[in-house]
Structure 1
Protein backbone atom coordinates (compact mmCIF):
# COMPACT_ATOMS: atom_id res chain seq x y z
CA UNK A 1 0.00 0.00 0.00
CA UNK A 2 2.85 2.36 0.90
CA UNK A 3 4.62 1.49 -2.35
CA UNK A 4 1.47 2.32 -4.33
CA UNK A 5 1.14 5.66 -2.52
CA UNK A 6 4.77 6.55 -3.24
CA UNK A 7 4.28 5.65 -6.90
CA UNK A 8 1.21 7.88 -7.13
CA UNK A 9 3.10 10.78 -5.53
CA UNK A 10 6.01 10.26 -7.92
CA UNK A 11 3.75 10.30 -10.96
CA UNK A 12 1.98 13.41 -9.67
CA UNK A 13 5.29 15.21 -9.25
CA UNK A 14 6.31 14.36 -12.80
CA UNK A 15 3.02 15.70 -14.13
CA UNK A 16 3.25 18.91 -12.12
CA UNK A 17 6.80 19.40 -13.36
CA UNK A 18 5.79 19.05 -16.98
CA UNK A 19 6.31 22.50 -18.41
CA UNK A 20 6.98 24.69 -21.40
CA UNK A 21 10.74 24.33 -20.96
CA UNK A 22 11.24 20.57 -21.29
CA UNK A 23 14.05 18.03 -21.20
CA UNK A 24 13.57 16.76 -24.75
CA UNK A 25 11.34 17.26 -27.76
CA UNK A 26 10.92 13.51 -28.29
CA UNK A 27 8.92 13.14 -25.10
CA UNK A 28 7.08 16.47 -25.00
CA UNK A 29 6.20 17.93 -28.43
CA UNK A 30 7.50 15.56 -31.12
CA UNK A 31 4.61 16.30 -33.50
CA UNK A 32 6.47 19.26 -35.03
CA UNK A 33 9.22 17.02 -36.41
CA UNK A 34 9.10 14.64 -39.37
CA UNK A 35 8.69 11.12 -37.98
CA UNK A 36 8.99 12.72 -34.52
CA UNK A 37 12.77 13.04 -35.00
CA UNK A 38 14.38 16.36 -33.95
CA UNK A 39 17.77 17.45 -35.33
CA UNK A 40 20.84 15.77 -33.90
CA UNK A 41 23.11 17.15 -31.19
CA UNK A 42 25.45 18.98 -33.60
CA UNK A 43 23.44 22.21 -33.31
CA UNK A 44 23.05 22.20 -29.52
CA UNK A 45 24.69 25.15 -27.71
CA UNK A 46 26.41 24.88 -24.34
CA UNK A 47 23.38 26.20 -22.41
CA UNK A 48 20.39 24.96 -24.36
CA UNK A 49 16.71 25.21 -23.50
CA UNK A 50 14.14 22.98 -25.18
CA UNK A 51 10.90 24.96 -25.44
CA UNK A 52 7.54 23.55 -26.48
CA UNK A 53 6.07 26.91 -27.45
CA UNK A 54 2.76 27.12 -25.63
CA UNK A 55 0.11 29.82 -25.99
CA UNK A 56 -3.26 29.64 -24.23
CA UNK A 57 -2.59 26.04 -23.15
CA UNK A 58 -1.83 24.71 -26.61
CA UNK A 59 1.51 23.83 -28.21
CA UNK A 60 2.15 25.51 -31.57
CA UNK A 61 5.82 24.83 -32.36
CA UNK A 62 9.15 23.86 -30.82
CA UNK A 63 12.25 26.00 -30.28
CA UNK A 64 15.78 25.10 -29.25
CA UNK A 65 16.99 28.23 -27.43
CA UNK A 66 20.55 29.39 -26.73
CA UNK A 67 20.49 30.81 -23.20
CA UNK A 68 23.96 32.37 -23.48
CA UNK A 69 23.45 34.16 -26.79
CA UNK A 70 19.76 34.85 -26.12
CA UNK A 71 18.62 33.74 -29.57
CA UNK A 72 16.87 30.62 -30.87
CA UNK A 73 19.04 27.97 -32.51
CA UNK A 74 16.04 26.78 -34.52
CA UNK A 75 12.24 26.66 -34.50
CA UNK A 76 10.29 23.69 -35.87
CA UNK A 77 6.66 23.82 -37.02
CA UNK A 78 4.08 22.59 -39.50
CA UNK A 79 3.45 24.81 -42.52
CA UNK A 80 -0.28 25.67 -42.40
CA UNK A 81 -0.75 29.15 -43.91
CA UNK A 82 -4.05 30.99 -43.82
CA UNK A 83 -5.49 34.52 -44.09
CA UNK A 84 -5.66 36.84 -41.12
CA UNK A 85 -4.19 39.82 -39.33
CA UNK A 86 -0.59 40.01 -38.19
CA UNK A 87 -0.35 40.27 -34.37
CA UNK A 88 1.37 43.23 -32.74
CA UNK A 89 1.89 42.08 -29.15
CA UNK A 90 5.26 40.59 -28.18
CA UNK A 91 5.61 37.80 -25.62
CA UNK A 92 8.35 36.21 -23.51
CA UNK A 93 8.91 32.74 -22.06
CA UNK A 94 8.28 32.72 -18.28
CA UNK A 95 9.73 29.27 -17.65
CA UNK A 96 13.19 30.32 -18.76
CA UNK A 97 13.18 32.19 -15.44
CA UNK A 98 12.30 29.04 -13.52
CA UNK A 99 9.73 26.22 -13.25
CA UNK A 100 7.51 28.12 -10.79
CA UNK A 101 6.49 30.63 -13.45
CA UNK A 102 3.58 30.15 -15.92
CA UNK A 103 3.81 27.38 -18.50
CA UNK A 104 2.43 29.55 -21.29
CA UNK A 105 4.10 32.56 -22.91
CA UNK A 106 3.13 35.96 -21.49
CA UNK A 107 3.59 39.66 -22.11
CA UNK A 108 6.51 41.21 -20.23
CA UNK A 109 4.15 43.54 -18.35
CA UNK A 110 1.89 40.67 -17.28
CA UNK A 111 4.80 38.54 -16.10
CA UNK A 112 6.36 41.34 -14.07
CA UNK A 113 3.15 42.66 -12.54
CA UNK A 114 0.80 39.68 -12.19
CA UNK A 115 3.32 36.91 -11.47
CA UNK A 116 5.86 38.80 -9.33
CA UNK A 117 8.66 38.42 -11.82
CA UNK A 118 11.66 40.76 -11.62
CA UNK A 119 13.01 42.58 -14.67
CA UNK A 120 16.56 41.59 -13.74
CA UNK A 121 15.66 37.90 -13.57
CA UNK A 122 13.86 38.16 -16.91
CA UNK A 123 16.87 39.92 -18.49
CA UNK A 124 19.22 37.20 -17.29
CA UNK A 125 17.05 34.43 -18.73
CA UNK A 126 16.34 35.71 -22.25
CA UNK A 127 16.10 38.65 -24.65
CA UNK A 128 13.60 41.37 -23.74
CA UNK A 129 11.88 44.12 -25.72
CA UNK A 130 14.44 46.73 -24.66
CA UNK A 131 17.18 44.72 -26.41
CA UNK A 132 15.51 45.30 -29.79
CA UNK A 133 14.92 49.04 -29.46
CA UNK A 134 16.83 51.66 -31.49
CA UNK A 135 18.34 49.14 -33.90
CA UNK A 136 20.12 50.37 -37.03
CA UNK A 137 19.84 48.22 -40.14
CA UNK A 138 18.35 45.33 -38.16
CA UNK A 139 14.90 44.35 -36.96
CA UNK A 140 13.12 41.55 -35.13
CA UNK A 141 13.27 38.61 -37.51
CA UNK A 142 10.96 35.65 -36.97
CA UNK A 143 12.38 32.18 -37.47
CA UNK A 144 8.91 30.65 -37.47
CA UNK A 145 6.92 33.30 -39.40
CA UNK A 146 3.36 34.20 -38.42
CA UNK A 147 2.26 34.03 -42.08
CA UNK A 148 2.83 30.26 -42.08
CA UNK A 149 -0.05 29.71 -39.64
CA UNK A 150 -3.78 29.52 -40.16
CA UNK A 151 -5.45 31.33 -37.25
CA UNK A 152 -4.83 34.19 -34.85
CA UNK A 153 -3.73 32.08 -31.88
CA UNK A 154 -1.13 30.16 -33.89
CA UNK A 155 0.16 33.41 -35.41
CA UNK A 156 0.20 35.06 -31.98
CA UNK A 157 2.35 32.22 -30.64
CA UNK A 158 5.13 33.15 -33.09
CA UNK A 159 5.40 36.61 -31.52
CA UNK A 160 7.61 35.43 -28.70
CA UNK A 161 11.14 36.80 -28.39
CA UNK A 162 12.40 33.21 -28.09
CA UNK A 163 11.51 32.88 -31.79
CA UNK A 164 13.29 36.10 -32.81
CA UNK A 165 16.80 37.05 -33.96
CA UNK A 166 18.36 40.37 -35.00
CA UNK A 167 17.94 40.12 -38.78
CA UNK A 168 19.17 42.41 -41.52
CA UNK A 169 16.14 44.59 -42.29
CA UNK A 170 16.63 44.50 -46.07
CA UNK A 171 16.90 40.71 -46.04
CA UNK A 172 13.92 40.35 -43.70
CA UNK A 173 11.70 42.55 -45.84
CA UNK A 174 13.17 41.46 -49.17
CA UNK A 175 14.59 38.13 -50.32
CA UNK A 176 13.73 36.29 -47.10
CA UNK A 177 10.15 37.52 -47.16
CA UNK A 178 9.89 36.43 -50.79
CA UNK A 179 11.05 32.95 -49.80
CA UNK A 180 8.57 32.74 -46.93
CA UNK A 181 5.59 33.94 -48.95
CA UNK A 182 6.24 33.00 -52.58
CA UNK A 183 8.78 30.18 -52.78
CA UNK A 184 7.20 28.21 -49.95
CA UNK A 185 3.80 28.44 -51.58
CA UNK A 186 5.17 27.07 -54.85
CA UNK A 187 7.30 24.38 -53.26
CA UNK A 188 4.50 23.01 -51.09
CA UNK A 189 2.12 22.39 -53.97
CA UNK A 190 0.95 18.78 -53.69
CA UNK A 191 2.15 18.38 -50.10
CA UNK A 192 -0.15 16.86 -47.52
CA UNK A 193 2.08 17.74 -44.56
CA UNK A 194 5.14 19.99 -44.60
CA UNK A 195 7.56 19.98 -41.67
CA UNK A 196 9.77 23.06 -41.40
CA UNK A 197 12.89 23.80 -39.36
CA UNK A 198 14.27 27.36 -39.51
CA UNK A 199 17.48 28.33 -37.76
CA UNK A 200 20.18 30.90 -37.16
CA UNK A 201 23.96 30.40 -37.11
CA UNK A 202 25.58 32.40 -34.27
CA UNK A 203 27.80 35.24 -35.43
CA UNK A 204 30.62 37.30 -33.94
CA UNK A 205 28.60 40.47 -33.34
CA UNK A 206 26.04 41.41 -30.68
CA UNK A 207 23.36 44.00 -30.05
CA UNK A 208 22.09 45.45 -26.76
CA UNK A 209 25.58 45.96 -25.30
CA UNK A 210 26.61 42.38 -25.90
CA UNK A 211 23.43 40.75 -24.65
CA UNK A 212 21.92 39.36 -27.89
CA UNK A 213 23.88 37.66 -30.66
CA UNK A 214 23.49 38.76 -34.27
CA UNK A 215 23.49 35.57 -36.39
CA UNK A 216 25.89 35.30 -39.30
CA UNK A 217 23.37 33.27 -41.34
CA UNK A 218 19.65 32.49 -41.40
CA UNK A 219 18.53 29.17 -42.86
CA UNK A 220 15.36 27.19 -43.49
CA UNK A 221 14.63 23.58 -44.39
CA UNK A 222 11.46 21.71 -45.26
CA UNK A 223 10.42 18.07 -45.57
CA UNK A 224 7.14 17.52 -47.41
CA UNK A 225 5.05 14.36 -47.35
CA UNK A 226 3.24 14.05 -50.66
CA UNK A 227 1.77 10.69 -49.70
CA UNK A 228 2.77 7.60 -47.72
CA UNK A 229 5.49 6.67 -50.22
CA UNK A 230 6.66 9.99 -51.63
CA UNK A 231 8.49 12.89 -50.03
CA UNK A 232 10.41 15.92 -51.21
CA UNK A 233 12.69 18.40 -49.47
CA UNK A 234 14.41 21.73 -50.02
CA UNK A 235 16.39 24.32 -48.09
CA UNK A 236 17.75 27.87 -48.22
CA UNK A 237 20.43 29.89 -46.48
CA UNK A 238 21.20 33.61 -46.39
CA UNK A 239 24.06 35.66 -45.01
CA UNK A 240 22.61 38.03 -42.44
CA UNK A 241 24.04 41.16 -44.04
CA UNK A 242 22.98 40.60 -47.67
CA UNK A 243 19.56 40.67 -49.33
CA UNK A 244 20.08 37.32 -51.06
CA UNK A 245 18.75 33.79 -50.46
CA UNK A 246 20.49 30.68 -51.82
CA UNK A 247 18.31 27.68 -52.68
CA UNK A 248 19.86 24.33 -51.72
CA UNK A 249 19.03 20.67 -51.37
CA UNK A 250 18.53 19.43 -47.81
CA UNK A 251 21.80 17.54 -47.99
CA UNK A 252 23.68 20.64 -49.17
CA UNK A 253 22.32 22.70 -46.28
CA UNK A 254 23.30 20.04 -43.75
CA UNK A 255 26.85 20.03 -45.16
CA UNK A 256 27.06 23.85 -45.10
CA UNK A 257 25.84 23.95 -41.50
CA UNK A 258 28.35 21.26 -40.54
CA UNK A 259 31.13 23.50 -41.89
CA UNK A 260 29.75 26.66 -40.26
CA UNK A 261 29.38 25.01 -36.85
CA UNK A 262 32.70 23.18 -37.16
CA UNK A 263 31.53 20.08 -35.32
CA UNK A 264 29.73 16.82 -35.96
CA UNK A 265 27.69 16.20 -39.10
CA UNK A 266 24.41 18.11 -38.94
CA UNK A 267 21.21 16.10 -39.49
CA UNK A 268 17.97 18.10 -39.57
CA UNK A 269 15.37 15.44 -40.44
CA UNK A 270 14.89 11.69 -40.23
CA UNK A 271 16.84 9.89 -42.98
CA UNK A 272 13.61 9.07 -44.86
CA UNK A 273 13.50 12.70 -45.99
CA UNK A 274 15.43 13.00 -49.31
CA UNK A 275 18.79 14.78 -49.23
CA UNK A 276 19.14 15.34 -52.98
Structure 2
Protein backbone atom coordinates (compact mmCIF):
# COMPACT_ATOMS: atom_id res chain seq x y z
CA UNK A 1 0.00 0.00 0.00
CA UNK A 2 1.47 3.37 -1.00
CA UNK A 3 1.88 6.18 1.49
CA UNK A 4 -1.38 8.10 2.00
CA UNK A 5 -3.57 5.33 0.54
CA UNK A 6 -6.53 4.29 2.66
CA UNK A 7 -7.04 0.62 3.43
CA UNK A 8 -10.07 -0.81 1.54
CA UNK A 9 -11.90 -1.61 4.79
CA UNK A 10 -12.10 2.09 5.62
CA UNK A 11 -13.81 3.32 2.43
CA UNK A 12 -17.34 3.27 3.77
CA UNK A 13 -16.75 4.54 7.29
CA UNK A 14 -15.64 8.08 6.94
CA UNK A 15 -17.12 11.03 8.80
CA UNK A 16 -18.90 12.46 11.78
CA UNK A 17 -18.13 10.19 14.69
CA UNK A 18 -18.81 10.52 18.39
CA UNK A 19 -17.44 13.56 20.18
CA UNK A 20 -14.72 11.64 22.01
CA UNK A 21 -13.05 9.39 19.50
CA UNK A 22 -10.50 7.63 21.65
CA UNK A 23 -6.77 8.13 21.30
CA UNK A 24 -4.73 10.43 23.49
CA UNK A 25 -6.22 13.64 24.81
CA UNK A 26 -3.20 15.86 24.29
CA UNK A 27 -3.75 19.56 24.92
CA UNK A 28 -6.05 20.93 22.26
CA UNK A 29 -5.85 17.81 20.06
CA UNK A 30 -7.69 14.67 21.12
CA UNK A 31 -11.22 15.69 22.12
CA UNK A 32 -13.68 18.57 21.94
CA UNK A 33 -14.06 19.09 25.68
CA UNK A 34 -12.51 22.58 25.61
CA UNK A 35 -14.54 23.87 22.66
CA UNK A 36 -18.04 22.41 22.98
CA UNK A 37 -19.53 25.92 22.87
CA UNK A 38 -19.14 25.89 19.08
CA UNK A 39 -21.76 23.14 18.84
CA UNK A 40 -25.50 23.59 19.37
CA UNK A 41 -26.37 22.47 22.92
CA UNK A 42 -22.65 21.68 23.28
CA UNK A 43 -23.26 18.46 21.32
CA UNK A 44 -20.93 17.60 18.41
CA UNK A 45 -22.36 15.70 15.43
CA UNK A 46 -23.37 12.18 16.33
CA UNK A 47 -22.69 9.06 14.28
CA UNK A 48 -21.27 5.61 14.68
CA UNK A 49 -17.86 5.07 16.22
CA UNK A 50 -15.89 2.76 13.93
CA UNK A 51 -12.29 1.83 13.26
CA UNK A 52 -11.92 5.22 11.54
CA UNK A 53 -11.57 6.68 15.03
CA UNK A 54 -7.86 5.96 14.99
CA UNK A 55 -7.40 8.35 12.05
CA UNK A 56 -9.50 11.20 13.40
CA UNK A 57 -8.26 14.00 15.61
CA UNK A 58 -10.74 16.45 17.16
CA UNK A 59 -9.02 19.84 17.35
CA UNK A 60 -10.03 22.81 19.47
CA UNK A 61 -8.64 25.47 17.17
CA UNK A 62 -6.79 27.84 19.49
CA UNK A 63 -5.22 31.13 18.41
CA UNK A 64 -3.77 33.94 20.54
CA UNK A 65 -4.75 32.11 23.74
CA UNK A 66 -8.43 31.75 22.82
CA UNK A 67 -10.54 29.01 21.24
CA UNK A 68 -11.83 30.16 17.85
CA UNK A 69 -13.64 27.10 16.38
CA UNK A 70 -13.51 23.29 16.26
CA UNK A 71 -12.40 20.86 13.54
CA UNK A 72 -12.45 17.10 13.13
CA UNK A 73 -9.22 16.28 11.32
CA UNK A 74 -8.33 13.13 9.39
CA UNK A 75 -4.63 12.46 9.89
CA UNK A 76 -4.25 10.11 6.94
CA UNK A 77 -6.09 12.33 4.46
CA UNK A 78 -4.40 15.45 5.89
CA UNK A 79 -7.66 17.39 5.66
CA UNK A 80 -10.51 18.18 8.08
CA UNK A 81 -13.76 16.24 7.82
CA UNK A 82 -15.60 19.26 9.17
CA UNK A 83 -15.20 22.55 10.99
CA UNK A 84 -17.80 23.89 13.43
CA UNK A 85 -18.15 27.54 14.37
CA UNK A 86 -20.56 30.32 15.35
CA UNK A 87 -21.13 33.16 12.90
CA UNK A 88 -20.51 36.67 14.21
CA UNK A 89 -21.57 39.86 12.40
CA UNK A 90 -18.91 40.13 9.68
CA UNK A 91 -16.90 43.33 9.42
CA UNK A 92 -13.82 44.59 7.64
CA UNK A 93 -11.77 43.26 4.79
CA UNK A 94 -10.34 39.79 4.43
CA UNK A 95 -7.12 39.75 6.46
CA UNK A 96 -3.75 39.04 4.91
CA UNK A 97 -3.35 35.28 4.90
CA UNK A 98 -0.53 34.06 7.11
CA UNK A 99 -0.95 30.32 6.93
CA UNK A 100 -0.61 28.22 10.06
CA UNK A 101 -0.42 24.60 11.21
CA UNK A 102 -1.31 22.57 14.32
CA UNK A 103 1.88 21.74 16.30
CA UNK A 104 0.26 19.07 18.47
CA UNK A 105 -0.55 16.90 15.46
CA UNK A 106 3.21 16.45 15.08
CA UNK A 107 4.43 16.63 18.68
CA UNK A 108 2.27 15.82 21.69
CA UNK A 109 4.11 18.29 23.94
CA UNK A 110 4.16 21.14 21.42
CA UNK A 111 2.49 24.52 22.08
CA UNK A 112 -1.28 24.31 22.45
CA UNK A 113 -2.27 26.68 19.65
CA UNK A 114 -1.82 27.02 15.92
CA UNK A 115 1.47 28.50 14.74
CA UNK A 116 2.81 30.09 11.53
CA UNK A 117 4.66 27.70 9.25
CA UNK A 118 8.43 27.80 9.74
CA UNK A 119 10.71 28.37 6.78
CA UNK A 120 11.22 25.32 4.57
CA UNK A 121 14.62 24.45 5.97
CA UNK A 122 13.16 24.18 9.49
CA UNK A 123 10.22 21.93 8.66
CA UNK A 124 10.59 18.73 10.70
CA UNK A 125 9.75 15.36 9.16
CA UNK A 126 7.19 14.68 11.90
CA UNK A 127 5.44 17.92 11.01
CA UNK A 128 5.42 17.09 7.32
CA UNK A 129 4.00 13.62 7.91
CA UNK A 130 1.32 14.76 10.37
CA UNK A 131 -0.53 17.28 8.18
CA UNK A 132 -0.69 19.18 4.91
CA UNK A 133 2.06 21.60 3.96
CA UNK A 134 1.87 24.75 1.88
CA UNK A 135 4.05 23.00 -0.71
CA UNK A 136 1.29 20.44 -1.23
CA UNK A 137 -0.90 23.13 -2.76
CA UNK A 138 1.84 24.73 -4.86
CA UNK A 139 1.21 24.08 -8.58
CA UNK A 140 -1.56 21.66 -7.64
CA UNK A 141 -4.43 23.32 -9.61
CA UNK A 142 -6.45 23.37 -6.35
CA UNK A 143 -7.14 26.37 -4.13
CA UNK A 144 -7.13 26.31 -0.34
CA UNK A 145 -10.82 25.96 0.48
CA UNK A 146 -11.92 27.20 3.91
CA UNK A 147 -14.50 25.11 5.75
CA UNK A 148 -14.80 27.89 8.32
CA UNK A 149 -14.55 31.04 6.16
CA UNK A 150 -13.08 34.31 7.43
CA UNK A 151 -16.11 36.00 5.85
CA UNK A 152 -18.30 34.69 8.69
CA UNK A 153 -16.45 36.45 11.49
CA UNK A 154 -16.15 39.94 12.93
CA UNK A 155 -13.00 40.08 15.04
CA UNK A 156 -9.69 40.22 13.21
CA UNK A 157 -8.18 37.42 15.30
CA UNK A 158 -11.15 35.14 14.60
CA UNK A 159 -10.72 35.79 10.90
CA UNK A 160 -6.99 35.17 10.97
CA UNK A 161 -7.51 31.92 12.85
CA UNK A 162 -9.36 30.45 9.86
CA UNK A 163 -6.09 30.47 7.90
CA UNK A 164 -4.82 27.18 9.23
CA UNK A 165 -4.41 24.19 6.93
CA UNK A 166 -6.32 22.08 9.45
CA UNK A 167 -9.37 24.11 8.29
CA UNK A 168 -8.62 23.68 4.59
CA UNK A 169 -9.53 21.17 1.86
CA UNK A 170 -8.42 21.18 -1.79
CA UNK A 171 -11.18 23.04 -3.61
CA UNK A 172 -11.51 23.78 -7.29
CA UNK A 173 -11.30 27.49 -8.07
CA UNK A 174 -14.60 27.35 -9.93
CA UNK A 175 -16.29 26.25 -6.70
CA UNK A 176 -14.27 28.30 -4.21
CA UNK A 177 -14.77 31.63 -5.96
CA UNK A 178 -18.08 30.73 -7.60
CA UNK A 179 -21.26 29.05 -6.31
CA UNK A 180 -19.73 28.06 -2.96
CA UNK A 181 -18.67 31.65 -2.27
CA UNK A 182 -22.21 32.74 -3.14
CA UNK A 183 -23.60 30.26 -0.62
CA UNK A 184 -21.36 31.67 2.12
CA UNK A 185 -22.66 35.16 1.37
CA UNK A 186 -26.27 33.96 1.38
CA UNK A 187 -25.86 32.23 4.77
CA UNK A 188 -24.29 35.39 6.18
CA UNK A 189 -27.23 37.44 4.86
CA UNK A 190 -29.80 35.12 6.46
CA UNK A 191 -27.98 35.37 9.76
CA UNK A 192 -27.87 39.17 9.69
CA UNK A 193 -31.46 39.54 8.48
CA UNK A 194 -33.44 36.92 10.36
CA UNK A 195 -31.40 35.26 13.12
CA UNK A 196 -32.07 36.76 16.58
CA UNK A 197 -29.47 34.66 18.38
CA UNK A 198 -26.41 32.57 17.62
CA UNK A 199 -26.15 30.67 14.34
CA UNK A 200 -24.19 27.41 14.60
CA UNK A 201 -22.56 26.22 11.38
CA UNK A 202 -20.91 22.92 10.47
CA UNK A 203 -19.18 22.65 7.10
CA UNK A 204 -17.47 19.56 5.77
CA UNK A 205 -16.41 17.54 2.76
CA UNK A 206 -17.44 14.26 1.12
CA UNK A 207 -14.64 12.09 -0.31
CA UNK A 208 -14.87 10.10 -3.51
CA UNK A 209 -16.48 6.69 -3.14
CA UNK A 210 -13.70 5.08 -5.16
CA UNK A 211 -10.67 6.13 -7.10
CA UNK A 212 -9.57 8.65 -4.48
CA UNK A 213 -8.03 11.86 -5.75
CA UNK A 214 -4.87 13.14 -4.11
CA UNK A 215 -2.57 16.13 -4.27
CA UNK A 216 0.98 14.80 -4.58
CA UNK A 217 -0.15 11.52 -3.02
CA UNK A 218 -0.52 13.32 0.30
CA UNK A 219 -3.72 15.38 0.55
CA UNK A 220 -7.15 13.93 -0.26
CA UNK A 221 -9.42 15.89 -2.59
CA UNK A 222 -13.16 15.89 -1.77
CA UNK A 223 -15.78 15.28 -4.41
CA UNK A 224 -18.39 17.45 -2.67
CA UNK A 225 -18.57 20.16 -0.02
CA UNK A 226 -21.48 20.37 2.40
CA UNK A 227 -22.69 22.85 5.00
CA UNK A 228 -25.55 23.15 7.48
CA UNK A 229 -26.62 25.76 10.03
CA UNK A 230 -28.79 25.91 13.13
CA UNK A 231 -30.46 29.16 14.19
CA UNK A 232 -32.73 28.22 17.12
CA UNK A 233 -33.87 31.82 17.75
CA UNK A 234 -35.12 33.63 14.66
CA UNK A 235 -37.46 36.43 13.69
CA UNK A 236 -41.07 35.41 14.26
CA UNK A 237 -42.23 37.59 11.39
CA UNK A 238 -40.26 35.78 8.72
CA UNK A 239 -41.55 36.40 5.22
CA UNK A 240 -43.12 33.38 3.58
CA UNK A 241 -40.16 32.97 1.22
CA UNK A 242 -37.71 32.63 4.13
CA UNK A 243 -39.61 30.24 6.40
CA UNK A 244 -38.18 27.14 4.77
CA UNK A 245 -34.69 28.27 5.78
CA UNK A 246 -35.27 28.24 9.57
CA UNK A 247 -34.36 27.03 12.08
CA UNK A 248 -32.07 24.86 9.90
CA UNK A 249 -31.05 24.56 6.30
CA UNK A 250 -28.23 22.88 4.42
CA UNK A 251 -26.43 22.61 1.10
CA UNK A 252 -24.17 20.35 -0.94
CA UNK A 253 -21.79 21.72 -3.58
CA UNK A 254 -19.93 20.02 -6.40
CA UNK A 255 -16.12 20.11 -6.29
CA UNK A 256 -15.77 18.08 -9.49
CA UNK A 257 -17.64 19.09 -12.66
CA UNK A 258 -17.28 15.51 -13.95
CA UNK A 259 -19.17 13.94 -11.04
CA UNK A 260 -22.54 12.30 -11.60
CA UNK A 261 -25.74 14.22 -11.00
CA UNK A 262 -27.39 11.97 -8.45
CA UNK A 263 -26.48 14.30 -5.55
CA UNK A 264 -26.22 17.72 -7.20
CA UNK A 265 -27.60 18.27 -10.72
CA UNK A 266 -25.76 20.53 -13.14
CA UNK A 267 -27.50 23.72 -14.23
CA UNK A 268 -26.50 23.84 -17.87
CA UNK A 269 -27.99 27.30 -18.29
CA UNK A 270 -26.05 28.76 -15.38
CA UNK A 271 -24.17 31.98 -15.91
CA UNK A 272 -21.42 32.97 -15.71
CA UNK A 273 -18.89 30.27 -16.55
CA UNK A 274 -17.33 28.05 -15.37
CA UNK A 275 -20.22 25.68 -14.89
CA UNK A 276 -20.41 22.35 -13.12
CA UNK A 277 -19.73 23.58 -9.58
CA UNK A 278 -23.39 23.86 -8.68
CA UNK A 279 -24.65 24.11 -5.11
CA UNK A 280 -27.94 22.49 -4.14
CA UNK A 281 -29.69 23.84 -1.04
CA UNK A 282 -31.94 21.51 0.91
CA UNK A 283 -33.52 20.78 4.32
CA UNK A 284 -31.20 19.44 7.02
CA UNK A 285 -32.85 16.01 6.86
CA UNK A 286 -32.02 15.73 3.14
CA UNK A 287 -28.34 16.45 3.78
CA UNK A 288 -28.21 13.92 6.62
CA UNK A 289 -29.78 11.32 4.31
CA UNK A 290 -27.11 12.01 1.68
CA UNK A 291 -24.35 11.66 4.28
CA UNK A 292 -25.82 8.42 5.58
CA UNK A 293 -26.15 6.96 2.09
CA UNK A 294 -22.74 8.17 0.96
CA UNK A 295 -20.75 7.46 4.12
CA UNK A 296 -22.49 4.34 5.33
CA UNK A 297 -23.48 5.64 8.76
CA UNK A 298 -26.44 7.46 10.31
CA UNK A 299 -25.67 11.09 11.00
CA UNK A 300 -27.19 13.73 13.28
CA UNK A 301 -25.55 17.13 12.81
CA UNK A 302 -27.47 19.14 15.42
CA UNK A 303 -28.95 17.92 18.69
CA UNK A 304 -32.63 17.14 18.20
CA UNK A 305 -32.54 18.76 14.75
CA UNK A 306 -31.81 22.19 16.28
CA UNK A 307 -34.75 21.96 18.63
Confirm or deny a common fold (TM above 0.5).
Answer: yes
Q: Give 1:38's aligned residue.
A: 44
Q: Bigger shift: 209-218 or 81-90?
A: 81-90
Regions of 4+ moved over 2 Å: 41-46, 110-113, 186-190, 203-209
Quick one: distance in 2 between partners of 1:252 and 1:43? Answer: 22
Q: Secondary structure at the match of 2:231?
A: strand
1:140-151 aligned at under 5 Å gives the runs 140-151=144-155
Q: Bigger shift: 182-191 or 246-255?
A: 182-191
Q: Bigger shift: 183-192 or 238-247?
A: 183-192
Quick one: distance in 2 between partners of 1:255 and 1:246? Answer: 14
Aligned residues: 250
Q: Give 1:244's aligned residue.
A: 278
Q: Secondary structure at the match of 2:115?
A: coil
Asked if structure 2 preserves the Cα contact closer than 8 Å seen for 1:94 and 1:111, the reply is: no
Task: Tell me how far 1:181 sits from its aligned partner.
Answer: 1.1
Q: Give 1:268's aligned residue.
A: 301
Quick one: distance in 1 between partners of 2:283 and 2:49? Answer: 19
CA separation of 1:43 and 1:150: change in aligned 2, threshold 3 A: farther
Task: Tell me how far 1:19 sits from its aligned partner.
Answer: 1.4
Q: Bigger shift: 35-44 or 143-152?
A: 35-44
Task: Tell me how far 1:208 sits from its aligned partner.
Answer: 3.2
Q: What value does the CA root-mean-square deviation take over the aligned residues?
A: 2.4
Q: Give 2:203's aligned residue.
A: 198
Asked if structure 2 preserves the Cα contact closer than 8 Å seen for 1:64 and 1:75, the reply is: yes
Q: Give 2:162's aligned residue.
A: 158
Q: Give 2:137's aligned residue.
A: 132
CA separation of 1:41 and 1:151: change in aligned 2, threshold 3 A: same
CA separation of 1:101 and 1:227: change in aligned 2, threshold 3 A: same
Quick one: distance in 2 between partners of 1:220 and 1:130? Answer: 27
TM-score (norm. length: structure 1): 0.84
Task: Tell me how far 1:183 sits from its aligned partner.
Answer: 4.1
Which structure shows the bigger proportion of residues in strand conformation? Answer: 1
Q: Secondary structure at the match of 1:54?
A: strand
Task: Tell me how far 1:107 sits from its aligned partner.
Answer: 1.0
Task: Tell me how far 1:82 sits from its aligned partner.
Answer: 1.8
Which structure shows the bigger proportion of residues in helix conformation? Answer: 1
Structure 1 segments unaligned to the other structure (5+ residues)? 1-16
Task: Tell me how far 1:273 sits from its aligned partner.
Answer: 1.4
Quick one: distance in 1 between partners of 2:187 and 2:284? Answer: 15
Structure 2 segments unaligned to the other structure (5+ residues)? 1-24, 237-245, 257-275
TM-score (norm. length: structure 2): 0.76
1:113-128 aligned at under 5 Å gives the runs 118-128=123-133
